[in-house]
């Protein structure tokens, strides 16, 4: 009899446990769905019905972290009121505070800080919440985290400091707060980057200016011996480049691509930067040098491009379609009749671009439109060898007006007429409109 009663008791307890587990599972599911839907009322109801505010969801994510993802302060507040722990990390080591900093909502970060979130707890790769907030959150949030004792200069697994994170985001206010708290302006990562290089990469000239004013080392060399000016030019941060030119950056040095700073400025079309470099003594006829880039190729992916012969800025500007830059360079003494080692002239260079204005000015500088390069290709060959673009008709008209011939064969034996005949229908159509009286019968018949 006793054994029977004990068995009944065990069964009843098991049923109760099963029922409790079912209710708990249902409550967790209801809470999870409510958070995902950003439904504050439903989430509150689930919590008040007994759902665990700290039950682990998929990948170890906590309900609080999922609420942070919604960026809804009311939802975050509901979970915190019902006992959600602010320092529970997910499977990747990311805490709600780190996630909130990454999402950049200052109000949500403030809620977590008020609830006791640990500002000293590193997350993935040793990155502190401070670093994430420095890049993504408001300055006021960064200031408060610093006031709560977060170290201003601790490096993560990549050797990056919070100041570098702020610089990478171009966050001048956060940078100022970190510098006031003792962050080092010239800290260097194992790969050779300083906060200044991160600021340059951010695209923010204001961040660059702030670091220079704070004593950043503008002479520091990054990976592959890259200077700060070269970095700015690689990143097309023209305003930052101008700041560095003003600080006396070397305008004769050749970068890994074989370019001097003036070559890059000529291609950019940034008139102010080009004028500044010329005013600071950049050589309007300085030539490119050999590239230091190592090309890795396979049979299925082609071969490296042929080496580029020494080229002056004027030809770079012409090929880039920068007519105004061409004028600036000519006014500064650029040699109009320069011929590169492969036979390229200013007209041939402009014909390889997609600017009628650049081609028209190039023809003013060097009127021979039937000049040929080392492969016997004329400007008309070059214009027709590219894809269709909005300037194509105007460029063909310029060449036609100046007497471009359609029957000159290049080194492969192909004439401009044959290139048009065999090329894209859109290119052929424009060619025929311009050179209607100068094409072969076969080509005329092939017109769509």
Q: Count of CB atoms within 10 A of residue 400's CB? A: 17
Report the distance separating Cα 410 and Cα 422, nearest Å: 15
**Strand residues in 28-157 grouped as ranges (E):** none
Q: Count of CB atoms within 10 A of residue 77's CB? A: 19
Picking from 383, 381, 363, the residue whose alpha carbon sits closest to that of residue 373 is 381
Q: What digits encode the pLDDT tens for the residues 150-174?
A: 999 999 999 999 999 999 999 999 9
Helix then strand then coil, in percent of the chain rounded to 5, is 55, 0, 45
What six digits make up the tokens of 394?
Answer: 């105007």
The distance of Cα 348 from the centroid of its chain, to the nearest Å, equals: 32
Q: pLDDT tier at 293 (50, 70, 90 boundaries)? A: confident
Compute, in degrees rounded to 10, the torsion defined by CA atoms 212, 218, 221, 227.
110
The alpha carbon dihedral of 207, 209, 211, 217 has a sign of positive
Q: What digits encode the pLDDT tens for the residues 206-241?
A: 999 999 999 999 999 999 999 999 999 999 999 999
Per-residue confidence (pLDDT) for residue 301, from 0 to 100:
66
Picking from 357, 362, 353, the residue whose alpha carbon sits closest to that of residue 329 is 362
Q: What digits encode the pLDDT tens for the residues 61-111?
A: 999 999 999 999 999 999 999 999 999 998 888 899 999 999 999 999 999
Which DSSP string corresponds to 168-199?
HTT-HHHHHHHHHTT--TT---TTS--HHHHH
Q: Count of CB atoms within 10 A of residue 66's CB? A: 20
Q: Under 8 Å CB-to-CB from 158, ≥6 apart: which residues?
A: 125, 189, 190, 191
What is residue 270's three-state secondary structure?
coil
What is residue 377's three-state secondary structure?
coil
Per-residue confidence (pLDDT) for residue 380, from 0 to 100:
98
Instruction: Tell me where in the chain the CATH 1.25.40.20 domain(s) lie.
Output: 256-289+309-367, 368-448
Query: Which CATH code for domain 256-289+309-367?
Result: 1.25.40.20
The distance of Cα 180 from the centroid of its chain, to the nearest Å, equals: 29
Per-residue confidence (pLDDT) for residue 412, from 0 to 100:
96
Q: pLDDT tier at 308 (50, 70, 90 boundaries)? A: confident
What is residue 445's three-state secondary structure?
helix
Per-residue confidence (pLDDT) for residue 358, from 0 to 100:
98
Query: Which CATH code for domain 368-448?
Result: 1.25.40.20
């Amino acid at each position: 009899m006793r054994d029977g009663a004990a068995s009944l008791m065990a069964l009843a307890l098991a049923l109760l446990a099963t029922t409790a587990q079912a209710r708990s599972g249902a409550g967790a599911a209801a809470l999870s769905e409510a958070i995902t839907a950003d439904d504050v009322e439903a989430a509150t109801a689930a919590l008040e019905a007994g759902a665990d505010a700290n039950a682990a969801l998929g990948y170890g994510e906590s309900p609080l972290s999922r609420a942070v993802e919604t960026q809804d302060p009311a939802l975050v507040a509901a979970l915190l009121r019902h006992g959600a722990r602010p320092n529970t990390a997910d499977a990747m080591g990311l805490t709600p505070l780190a996630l909130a900093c990454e999402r950049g909502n200052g109000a949500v970060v403030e809620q977590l800080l008020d609830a006791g979130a640990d500002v000293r707890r590193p997350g993935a790769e040793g990155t502190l919440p401070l670093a994430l907030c420095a890049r993504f959150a408001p300055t006021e949030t960064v200031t408060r985290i610093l006031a709560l004792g977060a170290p201003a200069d601790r490096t993560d697994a990549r050797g990056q400091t919070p100041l570098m994170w702020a610089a990478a985001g171009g966050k001048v206010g956060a940078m100022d707060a970190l510098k006031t708290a003792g962050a080092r302006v010239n800290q260097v990562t194992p790969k050779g980057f300083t906060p200044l290089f991160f600021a340059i990469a951010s695209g923010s000239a204001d961040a660059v200016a702030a670091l220079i004013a704070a004593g950043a080392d503008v002479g520091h060399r990054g990976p592959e011996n890259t200077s700060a000016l070269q970095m700015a030019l690689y990143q097309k941060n023209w305003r930052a480049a101008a700041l560095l030119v003003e600080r006396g950056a070397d305008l004769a040095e050749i970068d890994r691509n074989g370019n001097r700073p003036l070559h890059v400025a000529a291609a950019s079309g940034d008139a102010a930067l080009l004028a500044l470099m010329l005013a600071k003594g950049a050589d309007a006829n300085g030539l490119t040098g050999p590239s230091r880039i190592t090309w890795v190729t396979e049979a299925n992916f082609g071969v490296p491009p042929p080496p580029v012969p020494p080229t002056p800025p004027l030809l770079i500007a012409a090929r880039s379609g920068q007519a105004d830059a061409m004028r600036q360079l000519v006014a500064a003494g650029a040699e109009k009749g320069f011929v590169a080692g492969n036979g390229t002239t200013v007209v041939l260079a402009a014909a390889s671009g997609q600017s009628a204005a650049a081609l028209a000015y190039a023809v003013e500088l060097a009127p021979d439109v039937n000049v040929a390069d080392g492969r016997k290709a004329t400007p008309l060959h070059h214009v027709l060898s590219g894809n269709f673009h909005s300037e194509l008709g105007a460029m063909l008209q310029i060449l036609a007006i100046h007497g471009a011939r359609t029957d000159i064969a290049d080194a492969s034996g192909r004439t401009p007429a044959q290139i048009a005949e065999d090329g894209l229908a859109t290119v052929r159509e424009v060619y025929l409109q311009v050179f209607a009286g100068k094409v072969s019968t076969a080509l005329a018949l092939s017109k769509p």
